[in-house]
Amino acid sequence: MKVLTVVGARPQFIKAAPVSREIRKRGTEILVHTGQHYDKSMSDVFFEELNIPVPDYHLHVGSKSHGAQTGDMLAKVEEVILREKPDCLLVYGDTNSTLAGALAAAKLHIPVAHVEAGLRSFNRRMPEEINRVLTDHVSEWLFCPTQTAVNHLKDEGITRGVHLVGDVMLDAVGYNSRLAREKSRVLEELGLNRGEYVLITLHRAENTDDPARLSAIVGAINELPLPAVLPLHPRTRDKLPKWGLSIHNPHVRLIDPVGYLDMLELEVNARKILTDSGGVQKEAFFARVPCITMRDETEWTETVELGANVLVGADREKILRAVETFEVDFSRVDPVFGDGRAAEKIVDLLAGDLSR
């Protein structure tokens, strides 16, 4: 079994790591990093600390418009496929790298496996939604994290090759939380007490690129009455002065972006999490920390339906009310994202089908 895996950003490497470990027990993996997102934290230490394979190819695509970036990746991934001749191509999630990898393989008649298949926000204005829908419709294997994702595919007429395996992110969080407890000293360095602070993340373009939305969110952050820590994303740092905004609440500590293990440690020990990130919503769920999401919709509808996550949009009053009053009894929340063995199930299915 020879699998070519295409990823484009640090979060995808983290998701891919548990699957890569399973693939390499039973076959060969060629790992391709498109370079869609430049991340200076992805040094040798990043791969060593998290036991993540170093990419075999780095395509250095970089930041471009959606069309130019996807087209550049499509051409370069095609070259790798022709050189390596894999049995299948594996992609994750909903980035431009995901779509480019899937299209390149499909056009060369290489079967595509999509991890995190079936997710839908039903907002076609999001480029991620277009990427995930198109990838699902050209995939041979659709590995779904939840029953909701399976149902979404069925509604679109996709039933062949659909497998409910659970969420690989749960595998990754379980593995890396143990490393974080051993290695991270971020709480001590920041002087934070466990369970006594709000963790904030703010980076999504729909918030940072809209001055009205960002102004409302910043207004809420400036009124927070609790200790809070905000690792400030470069996009957000650039947009604040552009829109004439600043975060000046003495309760809120602004810090540079942190590494993955430090971020996990901050999530696990927070009192509440205020975010616009898809990944952080799930990590909050796995960490059993109440999540307040500054978006109007989410792909992870289960977290909202189960009462562990609340959508507040970019509404200052809703944000402040949720920070003050939103609580979760996690003893009543069902573990809908699987048993932490998604990677093993994915590779079992691939190996079984490819051996026929």
CATH number for the domain spanning 63: value is: 3.40.50.2000
Decide: 83 and 47 in contact? Cβ < 8 Å.
no
Q: Looking at the structure, tell me whether residues 153 and 42 fall in a common domain.
A: yes
Q: Looking at the structure, tell me whether residues 130 and 190 fall in a common domain.
A: no
> Residue 26's CB: how many other CB atoms inside 10 A?
14
At 231-275, the pLDDT tens digits run 999 899 999 999 999 999 999 999 999 988 999 999 999 999 999
Q: Is 83 exposed, middle or buried (0-12, 13-18, 19+ CB in 10 A)?
A: exposed
Q: Looking at the structure, tell me whether residues 12 and 140 fall in a common domain.
A: yes
Determine, yes or no, domain membership for 172: no
pLDDT at 305: 95
Q: Looking at the structure, tell me whether residues 283 and 308 fall in a common domain.
A: yes
Determine, yes or no, domain membership for 180: no
**Cα–Cα dist 303/309, whole Å:** 5
Q: Looking at the structure, tell me whether residues 307 and 345 fall in a common domain.
A: no
- Helix axis angle, 96-107 relative to 66-84, nearest 10°? 50
Determine, yes or no, domain membership for 239: yes
Q: Looking at the structure, tell me whether residues 28 and 70 fall in a common domain.
A: yes
pTM of the complete model:
0.85
Is 203 catalytic? The answer is yes
Q: Looking at the structure, tell me whether residues 163 and 268 fall in a common domain.
A: no
Q: Looking at the structure, tell me whether residues 247 and 125 fall in a common domain.
A: no
DSSP label at 355? T
Q: What percent of the chain has pLDDT over 70?
A: 98
Q: Looking at the structure, tell me whether residues 151 and 273 fall in a common domain.
A: no
Containing structural domain, residue 32 = 2-167+338-354
Determine, yes or no, domain membership for 179: no
Query: Degrees (nearest 5) of the Cα angle 184, 185, 188?
Result: 150
**Cα–Cα dist 202/217, whole Å:** 9
At 277-321, the pLDDT tens digits run 988 999 999 999 999 999 999 988 899 999 999 999 999 999 999
At 86-136, the pLDDT tens digits run 999 999 999 999 999 999 999 999 999 999 999 998 888 888 999 999 999
The mean pLDDT value for 197-215 works out to 96
Q: Which residues of 254-283 are buried (b: 16+ CB within 10 A; e: fewer)?
A: beebbbbbbbbbbbbbbbbbbbbbbbbbbb
Indicate if the pLDDT at residue 39 is higher than 70.
no
Determine, yes or no, domain membership for 136: yes
* Catalytic residue selected from 33, 114, 203, 233: 203
Determine, yes or no, domain membership for 304: yes
Q: Looking at the structure, tell me whether residues 102 and 151 fall in a common domain.
A: yes
Q: Looking at the structure, tell me whether residues 70 and 148 fall in a common domain.
A: yes
Determine, yes or no, domain membership for 101: yes
| CA R_g for the chain | 20
Task: Annotate 128-163 with DSSP letters as a single string.
Answer: HHHHHHHHHHT-SEEEESSHHHHHHHHHTT--TTEE
Q: Looking at the structure, tell me whether residues 80 and 102 fall in a common domain.
A: yes
| One-letter amino acid for residue 193 of the chain | N
Mean pLDDT, the chain, whole residue set = 94
Number of domains the chain contains: 2
Determine, yes or no, domain membership for 254: yes
